[in-house]
């Protein structure tokens, strides 16, 4: 690994749900501009880790630091304001709005104007609206959903809704993006397109932490992989290292292959 600035530090994080230990003592770092994958069998604690990083869950122990800010105690919207944005494992859109209006809602962080300016329709607020509309259009084009722009998001196919979810996350202007199983439910060609999309997101300078069960995809796209099993990190390294790690093969491919 080349020397990069560290974007995120996960430091001895533990999460317990009652008696169940979802994560026990997890520590790793993600460098600026890196694509890191967090993999592991079902129930390993990947989504739980995302929930901790984005303020939806308070860890039982340890802390997460993003660009020098300790995230403990921050609310999800405050963490989003630091540029740390996530997507959700289950499809998550604003179902009763069109794709286009979904994006306008997602652009919230870029569209902040003073309340009075918005109510009075002052030039500043109007210019901001124009900019948002243009950006919404660009984002829709970027994920390739032009033809669906004016359909209700809830009426889209599963794969398309996942693209809306990614577009929404991008609308929030991330400096780091957490993607939770973005290609599940996508067919091979959609997945291929999505890999290109991830690369172009990274080329914009956005750091990416990816949770994904699709191993070929993880192996092609990742700079580094962190392997989680039963809430514990069992391996960490480049795709080559992980591919040949006996512990990973044992723990992950051993029983995960059947359920993935």
Binding positions for other proteins, rule: CB under 8 A: 54, 56, 75-77, 80-81, 85-86, 88, 92-97, 100-101, 104-109, 111-113, 115, 118-121, 125, 128-130, 132-134, 136-137, 140-141, 146-147, 149-150, 168-169, 171-172
Out of 22, 85, 172, 206, the residue judged to bind ligand ATP by CB under 6 A: 22
Out of 29, 37, 47, 184, the residue judged to bind ligand ATP by CB under 6 A: 47
Stretch of residues binding ligand ATP (CB under 6 A), selected from 16-24, 126-134, 197-205, 217-225? 16-24
Q: Residue 115: which of Mg ion, ligand ATP, other proteins, none does it interact with, CB under 5 to 8 A by kind?
A: other proteins
**With binding defined as CB under 6 A, does residue 89 bind ligand ATP?**
yes
In Å, how far are 4, 101, 144 from 37, measured between CA atoms? Answer: 17, 31, 24
**With binding defined as CB under 6 A, does residue 20 bind ligand ATP?**
yes
Helix (H) or strand (E) holding 17: strand 6-17
User: 204 and 210 in contact (C-beta within 8 Å)?
Assistant: no
User: 104 and 134 in contact (C-beta within 8 Å)?
Assistant: no
- In angstroms, the CA 44 to CA 129 distance is 43
Closest approach, Cβ 247 to Mg ion, in A, equals 21
- In angstroms, the CA 110 to CA 187 distance is 33
151 or 236, CB closer to other proteins?
Answer: 151
Site for ligand ATP (CB under 6 A): how many residues? 12
3-state secondary structure of 172: coil
Nearest to 35 by CA among 181, 208, 203: 208
- In angstroms, the CA 246 to CA 72 distance is 35
55 or 256, CB closer to other proteins?
Answer: 55
- In angstroms, the CA 178 to CA 34 distance is 12
Closest approach, Cβ 157 to ligand ATP, in A, equals 21
Closest approach, Cβ 19 to other proteins, in A, equals 26
Site mask for Mg ion (CB under 5 A), range 44-83, x = bound? --xx------------------------------------
**With binding defined as CB under 6 A, does residue 48 bind ligand ATP?**
yes
42 or 220, CB closer to ligand ATP?
Answer: 42
User: 26 and 8 in contact (C-beta within 8 Å)?
Assistant: no
In Å, how far are 41, 42, 252 from 20, measured between CA atoms? Answer: 17, 15, 20
User: 145 and 160 in contact (C-beta within 8 Å)?
Assistant: yes
47 or 128, CB closer to ligand ATP?
Answer: 47
- In angstroms, the CA 50 to CA 45 distance is 9
56 or 142, CB closer to ligand ATP?
Answer: 56
Binding site for ligand ATP (CB under 6 A): 17, 20, 22, 40, 42-48, 89
């Amino acid at each position: 690994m080349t020397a990069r600035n560290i974007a995120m530090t996960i430091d001895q994080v533990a999460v317990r749900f009652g008696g169940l230990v979802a994560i026990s003592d997890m520590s790793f770092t993600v460098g600026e501009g890196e694509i890191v994958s967090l993999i592991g069998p079902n129930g390993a604690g990947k989504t739980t880790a995302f929930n901790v990083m984005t303020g939806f869950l308070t860890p039982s122990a340890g802390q997460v630091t993003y660009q020098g800010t300790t995230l403990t105690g921050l609310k999800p919207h405050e963490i989003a304001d630091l540029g740390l944005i996530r997507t959700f494992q289950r499809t998550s859109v604003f179902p009763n709005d069109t794709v286009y209006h979904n994006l306008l809602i997602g652009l919230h962080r870029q569209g902040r104007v003073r309340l009075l300016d918005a109510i009075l329709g002052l030039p500043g607020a109007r210019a901001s609206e124009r900019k948002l509309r243009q950006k919404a259009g660009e984002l829709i084009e970027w994920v390739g959903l032009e033809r669906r722009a004016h359909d209700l998001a809830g009426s889209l196919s599963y794969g398309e809704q996942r693209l809306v979810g990614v577009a929404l996350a991008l609308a929030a202007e991330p400096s780091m993006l957490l993607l939770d199983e973005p290609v599940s439910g996508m067919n091979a060609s959609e997945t291929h397109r999505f890999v290109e999309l991830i690369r172009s997101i990274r080329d914009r300078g956005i750091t990416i932490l990816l949770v994904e069960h699709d191993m070929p995809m993880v192996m092609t796209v990742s700079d580094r992989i962190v392997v989680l099993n039963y809430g514990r990190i069992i391996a960490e390294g480049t795709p080559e290292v992980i591919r040949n790690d006996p512990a990973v093969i044992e723990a992950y491919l051993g029983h995960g292959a059947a359920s993935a």
